[in-house]
Structure formats: structure tokens, C-alpha cells
Structure 1
Amino acid sequence: MCSSCGARYEDDGLILDCSRRHEPAFLRTEYDGTAEHTGTGLFRHARLMPVVRTFPDVPGPVVYRAGELGRRLGLTRLWIAFNGYWPERGAQLPTCTFKDLEAYTVLGRLPADPPVLVIPSAGNTAAAFAWASTRHQVPCLILVPAPALDGMRFPGPLDPCVRIVVLDGDATYSDAITCAELLALLPGHQAEGGSRNVARRDGLGTVMLAAAEAIGCLPQTYVQAVGSGTGAIGAHEAARRIRSGDEPLPRLLLCQNTPFAPLYEAWHSGGQARADREHEPCLLYTRDSRRPPFTVRGGVREALCESGGDVLCADNEAALAAMALFEEIEGIDIEPGAGVALAALADAVRSGRVDRDELILLNVTGGGRARQAGDLALVPAVPWLRAVWTPGGEGPRAVAEQVGRQLSTATSGAGR
């Protein structure tokens, strides 16, 4: 259903936008099923996911009450949704972040014989789609700036159906997006869609579904680090579906890493989210944050307003201290984004923006990467193509032409 005009569509697994002419607006899913749970893992919540197929043995979030961590923060009812690798807790997400949840949901939504998905990423999304597509033989073309390749390591080698294009030079995530928009126009290719893809948001929204099941009700406050805000929108949409009667929606507390905090600035100034900078400052935590869906109908601003939420910030020093605290108490490493969220939550408690007795759900969006590297022999990703990036207006088109030529060569049988 269109968030702007209310038009309804039968899902074909690929639709991203309303066909009517109006303001930018997200499509939202509506389900005939209930929140009844069957099976285990991610697809335990398949009745509230836009999937036409499920995959076996896909893990989901792990939700538990964090008593000692809560006490250290001054909270009496802190719950954690852990998304990552932590065998003792039963957490087994293969690429160690909640991006695995969205990747498998997007693949489960696709029709039979799907087009090649074109996916730009700053790192975690690329890893999640690469491994999920490898496991289930779904062709995809992934574009990443060169620094993202260093973090792409997997439990095994990638399948040839996964083609990773690395943008060498000074290319940014925004440049990868621009290139992907051109490559999605190639015959047989399709833009995956990012936050416009209902499967992404609903897959990430399973964190809220799992938490409500474990806790027995919706949390009062939901805390998450955000880049684009897609996961927070997904959590908000999931809460809207499953709340009973006049049960209040969880208040969204979204967290960003200063000094580059476009959603924080947009929310507190009442304006648009800031675009990418020519020279981005050094951040502990960067994610897909250059084009956040802030003002789009059904986007971040609406979710914040409807939930009575807020956007918070934490700097590098506070985030690093929070990461160390979590590992000290819980015994597992967490990703910088989760450290930002924990640091911002701690500050909110100290300042009185969060009451000590609130029922809090902290989404640890990634963790256990160091533990996984110690437990498993991980295989680094091998690029299908390293594209020479040249700054300026011709850069994206030049990359698209390089990729097109390489695809033509592969199709002709002269090489892959």
C-alpha cells in the first residue's frame, strides 16, 4: 500500500514504488496472516514477511534481558536484541550484523527466475547479500568503494553468481549508488531498491517481532544506531502491525556518530538530511547514511513523529568506551554502530531523557566479528572487477561501461 495515496498492489517481488504521480512515498506491506510463529530462526516470522519462499537454517535475532548491563547504566528493564555471532547465546548470523536479516528476506521475496539484483553498499549490506546469494544461487551485482572490501570475509568462497565490483581510488558510497543506478538499466538487471524495498524493512523489522515475543509485549523505547534509518522504520512498521488495541508504539531513539550525523541535524533543524560531504570527517561508525529517507512519506521523520521519538548522538570516545563496557559485562565484542547506540542510551539515562524503569530494547545491530574470526577460517572476497574511478561527472558512466564490457565478455563465453 502506498503511504501517500493509499493505492494497493499485489506484490510481484520486485515493485519498489507507487506508479501514481505524487510526492516520494514508501510502499508498505499489508498481510492477511497473523503474528503466529512457526519454526525457528528468521523465517519463524514468515507470516509477517513479504516472502514467497523461505530458506532453511537462517538464524534470526537473539533477545535476552541484560540485567547487569542495565544496572551499570541505571536501568531496571533493559533488553538486548543481539544480531551477530555469539554461539553461547545461539546467535549465528553469518556476516555478524542484522543486514543478514534483510538480505534473506529480499531473496525470499523475489519471483522465480529473478533478474540480477544490483546492490550498492558501504560494506555490511554487501557482505550480507553476497553470502546469502552464494548460499542460494541468486545472481547479484554488488558495487562497493575500495575500503569496504577489507571487511568482506566469509565462512567459505563466494559463488560465481555473485559479482563484486570494487570502485578503486577515492570513490565513496554515494558514487557506488550512482553507478548502481546506471547498471540497473542494463537488460536483465534490477535495482534492489534499498529502503524502498519492503522486504528490507520487513526483514529488519523481525527484530521487533522477536523482541515482542521474548518480552511478552512491545518495549516502551527502542534504541538503535542508524545510517539510513531503514532498520528503525522497519521496527516501527512491525510494531504497528502487532500492537494490540491502544498499546502505545515504542518510542524510537535513533543514534548517530558525531560529527557526521545527517539525521540528527535534519530532525533537530526541521529540515532535509544533509548530503554527502566532499571530505567526510574521520568517524568510528559510518554506514549507508548519505541519502537517508528522512522526508519521504512513510520515512524516518514520520516514524519519529508517530512514536514520539528523538535522534541522539555519541562521539568516538564515548562509543569506544561503550564497546569496552559491553564486552566486559557480556563477554562478546560489538560493532561500532552498537557502541554508538549504547553510548547514546547511557547519556540519555544520565540526562533524564530515559527513566530508569522504562522497558528498553537496545538493538545491537552487529557483534561477534572478532569472536567469529577466532573461531572460523574466513575466506576474503575476491572482486569480479576492480573499476578505475575517476572523479567528476564521467566517473559513473565510465564504470558502467567497464562493467558492461566485462558482462559482454562473460556472456560470450570468453571469460568470467
Structure 2
Amino acid sequence: MRWLTERKVRVRDELACTACDRRWPEAERPVTCPACGGVLLVPRTVPEAFTPSTLPGLWRYASLLHAGRVQPPVTLGEGQTPIVALPRWGERAGLQRASAKLEFLTPTGSFKDRGAAVLVTRARELGVRRLVEDSSGNAGAAIAAYAARAGLPCTVYVPAETPAVKLAQIAAVGARLVRVPGDREAVAAAAMADAADGAYYAGHNVNPYFVEGTRTFAFEVAEQFGFDPPEHVVMPVGGGALYLGAWLGFTEWYRAGLLPRVPRLHIAQSTGCAPLVRALAQGAEDAVPVERAPTVASGVTIARPARARLILRAARETGGRAAAVDDAAIRAEMAAVARLEGLTCEPTAAVAFAATRELVRIGAIAPEERVLIAVTGSGLKDSEALARAGA
């Protein structure tokens, strides 16, 4: 193992605004910057590496996580998802070394368990008594499950058109479920209004502890590739929690001298809602306003991502590109990866497969380069879409 030993990454009991640089005590439980509304993150010095924990799953990286230090972590066994080669799908896509990290092999069926485990752990340590979340389904299921594990009441606000199986999953663990008509911004507004009444806002698209947990995706990838990560990582991006966490994690280990490079992190979006794709194309510093259109990939329909500036910075710093794909391409890749590799994924996850093919077509990914695709959600999350793709 190439660990640097005996030293830990230093963190303080405060959060830092990425926009105005102000610091805020964690005891005040801010979710966004009280001064400017900017995105908050856990501040760190240049990473100094760590000693792996004996705890299972993502808590192997406990010394790098700003949670689970006061009380035992809230866990359902999340993390350490496998990576599998994609030889048949890769050949069809023009790739010699394609692989997938199966982020749906988690307790609630999506990568959101990484963020939820760390967020709920830290929320409990801070004395939170009730959680409120807004979600298109997967994050709501994750926060609700980990809230139940921690013994905390939870209310989840969801779009009215959320697939029934996701609603059932949220309700099954005892969360209060509130359907909200309108777009994702309307759902978030309803949840934040509830949080203003005394609950803690666990919104995964802004809460700093959620990204704290998704950093572990990068740590796992680094280990699984023998500290020589692939040249490219492709993932669906809506609010960008996994994308931003991956960037932070890879960058930390690169600066610590554990990695030779940070992979190129590519953004995959639906043509129905692609503010980040348009922003990169236009050289914008923030998400570009778009008109949302109906799409099967509901998990990436965030027209105004709160973390857009950081996501675009990450793409530019890593040399990442962005691709938008339509519903026909998404459905085709759902079917292809299932028939060629035996993997069933939900439409939002299939966006990354379709985008990878587009990135190969435009020359952003060379046939001989290693490509890792994050398969972020199970096909069982949207059984109707899965049935249509296989028809």
C-alpha cells in the first residue's frame, strides 16, 4: 500500500464559503453561506494522507471524513462498490478499455448513499432533531433510509411525477412524503420553507456534508486502479454532488502525492436540461439559463445547479468535456448495456453511457484510453423505463 502514515488531514469545526471565503461555525448549522448564499464546503489544508480505518465500506476513509468522530457513523454498509470491465459494450462504443463502477450496488440503490451516510452522521453529531430533503427520488430514498437508521424524523419533498417505485421506497422507511407540482426548483423551495421552521435542510444539491461523503468515490477508484486512475471518468451531472466530490477527492490525493494525475472528469447531461453543457460551450463561469424539456432522465433536470461554478471549474481544471444526449440515445444505451453486459441501470445513469459514445465520436476520448463510467442508479429504480428500453 502506498499510504503516507501517521498524519491526518486537518479540518476545523467550521465551514468555508467558496464564493466570499468567509468561515462559519458548524454549531450554527449553516447549509449555504449566510452572507452571500454561496456554496459551503469543509475547509482543508493541503492533504497529508491518512491511515485506513478498519471500519467497512466508505468508512475505511474515516480519518478523511468530517463526520463519525464524535459518535459512531450512521451506516448501512455503503461504499466499496465494484468496478467491472465492459468488453462488449466498449467494443461497440469504439473503446478498448471501458469499465463501470457500479454505484447502484448500495443499500438504497444509488450513489446517493455515500452522501447520505456522512450527512446524517454529521447532522446527528450536531444535535439535529429532524431532517428535510428535496429530491427527484434517489436522494430522498437515501436520506430517508439513513434518517431511519439514525432514529431521526424525515420529510422528503418530491416532484409530482416521481416514479412510483421511488415514492414507495421513501415511504417504506417511514419518511413523510410530500408531492410538489412544478419543476425541481419549486420542490427545493418547498423543502427550504419547511426547514426554515426548525428542521435541518439535508438538500443534497447544497448541503456541504453530502459532498463530503461523495469524495469517497474518488478514493475508492484510486485504490481499485492501483493508484493509477483512468484517464477519463464520465458521470451524469444534475446538481453535481458526485462530480464535485470526485474532483475534490482526486485532487486531494494528487496533491498528497498519491496519484500521478487527476482524471479528466466529463459531464453527461440530457438535451432536455443541459445548462452545464451549454456553459462549457460558451465559456461561461456559471450555468447558462435553459428551457427545460421533458426527458426520461429526471435525475439530471436541474436547470440552475447551485454548485455550477465549482462544477465548471472542475471540468476546466481536469480537461473534462461535456455532452448532451437525447432520450432516444439514453434508451438505446439502457438496452445496450443490459444486453451486452447484463447491467440494468435507470435512465439517468444511462445518460453517461450515451454521452461516452458522443465523447468518443468527437475525439475527446481516444479508443485506447481507459474510461470509467459511473453507473449511478439501479434500473429497478424506474422499472417502467427499463421495460420500455427492453421492448
Same fold? TM cut 0.5 = yes
- Equivalence for 1:360: 371
Amino acid at match of 1:126: G
Please give the residue correspondences for 1:212-361 in structure 2 after superposition, counting only pairs within 5 Å.
212-216=222-226, 217-243=228-254, 244-245=256-257, 247-271=260-284, 272-275=286-289, 277=291, 280-287=292-299, 289-293=302-306, 295-296=308-309, 299-361=310-372
CA change 1:16–1:259 in 2 (3 A) is closer
- Equivalence for 1:132: 146
Per the TM alignment, residue 23 of structure 1 is displaced from its structure 2 partner at its CA by 8.0
- Equivalence for 2:73: 54
C-alpha distance in structure 2 between counterparts of 1:303 and 1:177, whole Å: 24
SS in 2 for 1:283: coil
Which of 231-240 and 134-143 deviates more?
134-143
**Alignment counterpart, residue 88 of structure 2, candidates 46, 62, 68:** 68
Give yes or no for the alignment of 1:210 onto 2:207.
no
> 2:31·2:201 contact (CA, 8 Å) conserved in 1?
no
- Equivalence for 1:78: 98
Alignment length, in residue pairs?
356
Amino acid at match of 1:157: A
C-alpha distance in structure 2 between counterparts of 1:270 and 1:228, whole Å: 19
> 1:4·1:25 contact (CA, 8 Å) conserved in 2?
yes
Amino acid at match of 1:144: V
Per the TM alignment, residue 179 of structure 1 is displaced from its structure 2 partner at its CA by 1.5
**Alignment counterpart, residue 98 of structure 1, candidates 99, 111, 117:** 111
Q: Which runs of 4+ in 1 moved over 6 A?
A: 370-373
**Alignment counterpart, residue 204 of structure 2, candidates 159, 169, 194:** 194
Amino acid at match of 1:131: A
C-alpha distance in structure 1 between counterparts of 2:61 and 2:316, whole Å: 27
Per the TM alignment, residue 156 of structure 1 is displaced from its structure 2 partner at its CA by 8.8
Q: Deviations over 1:358-396 (max 9, x none)?
A: 2221101112417999xxxxxxxxxxxxxxxxxxxxxxx
C-alpha distance in structure 1 between counterparts of 2:179 and 2:147, whole Å: 18
Amino acid at match of 1:66: L
Q: Could you say what the CA RMSD is over the residues aligned between the two structures, in angstroms?
A: 2.8
C-alpha distance in structure 1 between counterparts of 2:154 and 2:170, whole Å: 19
> 1:222·1:250 contact (CA, 8 Å) conserved in 2?
yes
> 1:293·1:300 contact (CA, 8 Å) conserved in 2?
no
> 1:16·1:27 contact (CA, 8 Å) conserved in 2?
no
Which of 225-234 and 244-253 deviates more?
244-253
- Equivalence for 1:40: 56
- Report sequence identity in percent: 28
Long gaps (5+) in structure 1: 85-90, 374-416
Per the TM alignment, residue 312 of structure 1 is displaced from its structure 2 partner at its CA by 0.7
Which of 212-221 and 264-273 deviates more?
264-273
> 1:222·1:363 contact (CA, 8 Å) conserved in 2?
yes
Per the TM alignment, residue 106 of structure 1 is displaced from its structure 2 partner at its CA by 0.8
CA change 1:146–1:193 in 2 (3 A) is closer
Q: Deviations over 1:123-144 (max 9, x none)?
A: 2211111222223312222111
CA change 1:122–1:156 in 2 (3 A) is closer
> 1:63·1:79 contact (CA, 8 Å) conserved in 2?
yes
C-alpha distance in structure 2 between counterparts of 1:289 and 1:156, whole Å: 24
Per the TM alignment, residue 343 of structure 1 is displaced from its structure 2 partner at its CA by 1.1
Normalised by the length of structure 1, the TM-score is 0.77
**Alignment counterpart, residue 157 of structure 1, candidates 155, 168, 172:** 172
C-alpha distance in structure 2 between counterparts of 1:26 and 1:310, whole Å: 25
Larger Rg: 1
Amino acid at match of 1:55: V
Long gaps (5+) in structure 2: 1-15, 385-391
SS in 1 for 2:41: coil
> 1:257·1:315 contact (CA, 8 Å) conserved in 2?
yes
C-alpha distance in structure 1 between counterparts of 2:383 and 2:64, whole Å: 30
**Alignment counterpart, residue 177 of structure 1, candidates 168, 188, 192:** 188
Higher relative contact order (CA 8 A, sep 6+): 1
CA change 1:306–1:117 in 2 (3 A) is same
CA change 1:98–1:4 in 2 (3 A) is same
C-alpha distance in structure 1 between counterparts of 2:336 and 2:311, whole Å: 29
Normalised by the length of structure 2, the TM-score is 0.82
C-alpha distance in structure 2 between counterparts of 1:149 and 1:67, whole Å: 32
Per the TM alignment, residue 11 of structure 1 is displaced from its structure 2 partner at its CA by 4.5
